[in-house]
Amino acid sequence: MQVTQTYWLEHAWLDTHVEPGVALDVTDGRITAVRENTATPPPGAEILRGLTLPGLANAHSHAFHRALRGTVQVGSGTFWTWREFMYAFADKLTPDTYHALARAVYAEMALAGVTAVGEFHYVHHAHGGTPYADPNAMGEALVAAADEAGIRITLLDTAYVSSGFGQPPNHHQLRFSDGSAEAWAERSSLLKDRDHARIGAALHSVRAVPAGQLATVARWAEERQAPLHVHLSEQTAENDACQAAHGCTPTRLLADHGVLGPRTTGVHNTHLTDEDIVLLGDSRTGTCMCPTTERDLADGIGPAVALQRAGSPLSLGSDSHAVIDLLEEARAMELNERLRTRTRGHWTAAALLRAASADGHAALGWQDAGILEAGALADFTTIALDSVRTAGPVPRLGAETAVFAATAADVRHTVVGGRHVVRDGAHALVPDVPQALAQAVEALRA
């Protein structure tokens, strides 16, 4: 017998506007009715005070990078010096330590209103590249961690074959490499979807997968109708190396090998030519911007406005998890563009929220999430409108308040599949998230 639970939303963002007094009926993990003009809570309803948004989608995550927070802020350097710190932590991961860290990181995401994560996963093997007894032990640890933290995951299993154009993997990268795209496809085919998890694919970058093997990964994703993500033109050094090796940009190389398309998302897309932007837009290839990481690593500001105008849908990610706050990522995308152009108002608050919710979910293969309407997955989050950051504006400006004033600290509730994962700012499944994070990070430092 199916049981219907009603949630009464004091205020709800319904894609274009904020509506007061909305009742959501939820049955078997999906929204079955959206009833507006409900001034008072129906009997027995769960009451959500504040502004309720669709659940946020963190479209680009490297869970183990969370262990770098604070540590890599000492001194100076570039992306490439940061990468050496990252390798040191990657070397220490085991299925057990990775599970513990990811569980805590995904719980932190739930506390920040995230209901689905795209995990760009490339640490596949034991030291020296030796497969575990279960060749997907690391990926399965991430899938289990998301389940225990109460959120959905798209495991973007990543092909990583070389350290650069024509170069074998270095000693750190042996853990990442299957030896060839064909071997990657054989291993990743053993992973299966489940209720809370979907399996997608990723190309780490054009420098990490030889040009002749790009199509193998694209074909794997095409056959499964699965998402395909790729780090794209994050660094000018990658562009220069690609020009030297192939006489073209990374975007052109991907286009020539059949990688671009509406199920594909380029992550960062920072240093693009005008032709690159046209190629991405015309193919409806998505763009995942990660403004905090792009600032933290001194990558640069990508042409997000031009990409969206060309036809590339935008999503957002917290990437290296210097902070986990999708509201900050949405705000930063607009504010970065203001700094670059010295003009304001490139996106409305509604457009930025869509990038953080519906369009992010679509990039991860969850097309039935990210919107408050009948038939959608019952995934939503509630932002306080009475905190020191959000008090004052009238509720009808709730979207603007959420994007331009609120932070992850203002998340009051997170509901996934109709289940309260975060209630009144406390995680229901991971009792002490800060302690879980501290213990998991310390285990990697030991």
Spatial neighbors of 412 by CB under 8 A, at least 6 apart, are: 48, 49, 50, 382, 383, 384, 422, 424, 425
The DSSP code for 388 is T
Q: In this structure, which amino acid lies at residue 101?
A: L
d(C-alpha 138, C-alpha 187), whole Å:
12
Half-sphere exposure of 221 (CA within 13 A, CB side): 29
Which residue, among 306, 437, 403, 381, has the nearest Cα to 24 in the 3D structure? Answer: 381
d(C-alpha 62, C-alpha 140), whole Å:
15
Q: Indicate left, alpha or beta for 166 from its phi (over 0: left) and psi (-120 to 50: alpha).
A: left
d(C-alpha 127, C-alpha 67), whole Å:
19
Angle 181-188/211-224 helices, nearest 10 degrees? Answer: 20
State yes or no: is 319 an active-site residue: yes
Catalytic, out of 25, 319, 379, 410? 319
Catalytic, out of 11, 99, 121, 268? 268
State yes or no: is 196 an active-site residue: no
Residue whose structure tokens are 């457009």: 351
Residue whose structure tokens are 């502004």: 51
DSSP for 104-170, please give it. Answer: HHHHHHHHTTEEEEEEEE---SSGGGPPPSSTTHHHHHHHHHHHHHT-EEEEEEEE---SBTTB---
Catalytic positions are 268, 319
